[in-house]
Amino acid sequence: MKLKYINDINPATGKIFAKIKCSTKKEIDDAVLKAKTAQKKWSSLTLAQRSKMLNACANDFIKQKEKIGKIITDEMGKLYKSAVGETFSTAYGIRETIEQAKTALKTEKFYEENLITELHRTPIGVCAVITPWNFPVSMPESLLSPALLAGNTVVFKPSEMVPLTGKAIYDIFKKHLPHGVINLVQGADEVGDYLIHNNIDMIAFVGSQAVGRKIMKTAGDKLKRIVLELGGKDPMIVLDDADLQKAANYAVNGSLRNTGQVCVSVERIYVHQKAADKFTTLVANGVKNFKYGNGYDKEVQMGPLVSKKQRANVISQVKDAVKNGAKLITGGKMPRNTKGFFMEPALVTNLNGKHRLMREETFGPVVAIQKVKSADEAVDLANNSPFGLGATVWTKNKKKGLEIAKKIESGMIGVNQGIGGVSGTPWVGIKQSGFGFIGSIEGIRQFTVPRKISYKK
Ligand code: NAD
């Protein structure tokens, strides 16, 4: 491997605060071998036995929420209170998956005259779990819990931006699970690539579309199972009869929370021309008052971007838009008095489909607004994208909102609210935002293969 160490940089200061050794090829081979060896015994345990161990992990996430919260804020800049909240709610994620697994993994019996078929949901084997940095605890959990409960063993590779958060997650699972059931490898793309070419049976991945594509190619060669949760370019449609204050609040928070580094951020807004001026004024007020700074500061609403590179990409999209006729209403600059990777939250208007800001995933603190003449035009523009993760529609006419929602090509759509729905329903991207899905009974089953055994009465 070319990269021997990860420099763990605090994005609020720009300073390296830890150096983490990358796994060697031999260490990755060993991790896969350990997972292979442990899998038979792990899968022979009952679901109740596995669930008990995972429940103990959930308790530890609650106990360690401040400790892990601090690691997250230091590594990727998230607000400390959000980092603690994410760690705390991870425990609920584990417990919810434990409950759903009871239905998802139950053996079903089918009858036809004197014939009986048992349908067993069997584990796939060794699962490589590869995750991003933006929700550094909840994303790994969303793949680790279903993989492990279903009876698979795991080789886990956290993002190179959050290696210590990854290690903290691994330490909790390792403490409560038998030897070899979970294994950790550290590193960046080379380590991930070496891992997916190894003797594993499944790849569960959350990350960008670009890497998802590479993973699918590699998996194709050996017909390995995959679950991919990828990037988005979520549209928000605001009609002229919407509650504009409510929509503006959602636009600001949805575009800027976690410094815009959310797969289901509001990435592009299509507002009806009749409502555009008032809506833009309300959004501008929100953006101008949105406080950024160090994630430990209680007043602050967003921290720095995760890296210099990430910030440069966001700023280049804003500059490209302005150069090509868009209007920067506020923000978009780098503060000079700090070495941290901060950026003023930005509002850009007069946009159109040619701007990168309306086509590429931005993943930064930018509210991007385009005027439209009708709801039909908004839907056409929303659907004119390879992405299909989330979307929202804002109108006081609920019936019309629901009709529009059905026409939008996204996996998760909210009408006058965010994309989160009732717990237990899937987390799903369609088109090129995902392949397979997680977070539901069907989601858990994707970490298994059905096997049928038939016999006569
Ligand atoms: P990324 O794709 O750059 O990296 C994700 C992981 O893949 C990291 O662990 C990385 O080291 C690893 N990796 C990189 N190259 C690899 C390769 N060739 N083979 C194997 N592994 C490789 O993504 P990121 O920057 O960490 O995260 C941001 C992206 O994740 C955004 O696109 C965002 O939308 C997406 N995301 C999606 C969801 C969702 O639920 N759909 C949730 C969170 C983040």
The alpha carbon of 206 and the centre of ligand 1 are apart by a number of angstroms equal to: 6
- The atom number, within ligand 1, closest to the CA of 263 reads 34
- The atom number, within ligand 1, closest to the CA of 161 reads 26
CB of residue 196 inside a 6 A radius of ligand 1: yes
Strand partners, 327: 349
Q: What is the total residue count of the chain?
A: 457
CA distance linking residue 190 with residue 433, whole number of Å: 23
Pair 226, 203: CB distance under 8 Å: yes
Q: Name the architecture of domain 5-230+430-456.
A: 3-Layer(aba) Sandwich (3.40)
Residues of the chain with confidence (pLDDT) below 50: none
Domain boundaries, the chain: 5-230+430-456, 234-415
- What's residue 1's pLDDT? 87
Topology match between the domains 5-230+430-456 and 234-415: no
Q: Which contacts (CB < 8 Å, 24+ apart) does range 398-401 have?
A: 400/239, 400/375
Burial class (CB in 10 A: 0-12, 13-18, 19+), 376: exposed
Residues 39-79 pLDDT 10s: 999 999 999 999 999 999 999 999 999 999 999 999 999 99
Q: Output the six-digit token pair for 304.
A: 């720095």
User: Helices (H), strands (E): how many in the chain?
Assistant: 14, 18
- The atom number, within ligand 1, closest to the CA of 434 reads 41
Pair 329, 285: CB distance under 8 Å: no
* Annotated catalytic residue within 160, 263, 267, 361: 263
* Annotated catalytic residue within 27, 75, 141, 229: 229
CA distance linking residue 429 with residue 437, whole number of Å: 7
Question: Is 267 one of the annotated active-site residues of the chain?
Answer: no
CB of residue 429 inside a 6 A radius of ligand 1: yes
Summary mean pLDDT of the chain: 98
CA distance linking residue 348 with residue 316, whole number of Å: 13
CATH of domain 234-415: 3.40.309.10
Per-residue HEC secondary structure of 385-403 comes to CCCCCEEEEECCCHHHHHH
User: Which residues, other chains included, contact 340 with Cβ-Cβ below 8 Å and sequence gap of 6+?
Assistant: 10, 11, 12, 13, 14, 77, 294, 304
Query: Of 240, 243, 238, which Cα lies nearest the Cα of 255?
Result: 238
CB of residue 131 inside a 6 A radius of ligand 1: yes
- Model-level pTM? 0.98
CA distance linking residue 81 with residue 384, whole number of Å: 37
Pair 201, 225: CB distance under 8 Å: yes
